[in-house]
Structure 1
């Protein structure tokens, strides 16, 4: 293997590792296809394949995977994640207001908080009602205070 071929092999390996790490952190199903393309190019370089073939394999796998395979993978991933049912919730706390929840234990005022099940997660919850809310009743989120939900009975 010549120096130039060794440099390209090293480049493909570094790209593979970098894009695998990026995919692990983003989980967007884009970087994985770049990593697969770079890995295929590295294998081709190791086998002594020409540089043009390495580039073509890289481009076809990266672009083809992103456009042809990614939509199916993304749809499967989204349907497998329980929180995907709450796609209507916006990214900000304002998107939580108006959403349903269920009390898990007695929910009182700020000095006697309880918990509510919201989007399949246990949240700290309080109410502004004079009487505490008992466990296992449906409530609606009326405000968000930090990481605490202000809830009222439905």
Structure 2
């Protein structure tokens, strides 16, 4: 047991190195906070704290950093991201026009972005060619659509 206590500083250094390498691969700030917690554990070891106290200090510092420092760091990191929806989320709610009759089992629609998709109707009556519809959801390569109600003036 005394060997573990005598060389705990090496374990803290290895643990910090592992956490920092994982952080470089994930860029999520979680393992950075754990690495800093490991630094606190190392500092406690160098100041002569018993191993159980070192672990508690490392855990408390890590938890505080994860809950208090990580969220603002993530917000700052992601501040410049493009907020525009892409891929499937961008298709939800998009208007389309029926190309081939759309029933609850088959059909084709042309989306406003020019793409043609297989479609299924979410309502009972079939939707005829030329009718305007809106995409409710996407399941695989199938758009589930419903008829756009005409506004009465």
Q: TM-score, normalised by structure 1?
A: 0.53
In structure 2, the residue corresponding to 1:3 is in which secondary structure? helix
CA 40–97 in structure 1, closer or farther in 2 if over 3 Å, else same: same
In structure 1, the residue corresponding to 2:28 is in which secondary structure? coil
Alignment of 1:1-154 (within 5 A): 3-80=3-80, 82-83=81-82, 85-86=83-84, 88-89=85-86, 93-95=87-89, 142=115
* CA deviation vs aligned residue, 1:49-86 (integer Å, no higher than 9, x gap): 22232112111111111112111111111114x43x23
Instruction: Name the larger-Rg structure.
Output: 2
User: Conserved in 2, the CA contact under 8 Å of 1:97 and 1:141?
Assistant: no
Separation of aligned partners in 2, 1:8 and 1:54: 9
User: Conserved in 2, the CA contact under 8 Å of 1:41 and 1:55?
Assistant: yes
Q: Which runs of 5+ in 1 are unaligned?
A: 99-139, 144-154
Shift of 1:142: 4.3
Separation of aligned partners in 1, 2:26 and 2:47: 32
Q: TM-score, normalised by structure 2?
A: 0.53
Q: Which runs of 5+ in 2 are unaligned?
A: 93-112, 117-153
Shift of 1:43: 2.1
CA RMSD of aligned residues (A): 2.5
Runs of 4+ in 1 over 4 A off after TM superposition: 95-98, 140-143
How many residues align structurally?
96
Separation of aligned partners in 2, 1:7 and 1:67: 30
In structure 1, the residue corresponding to 2:78 is in which secondary structure? helix
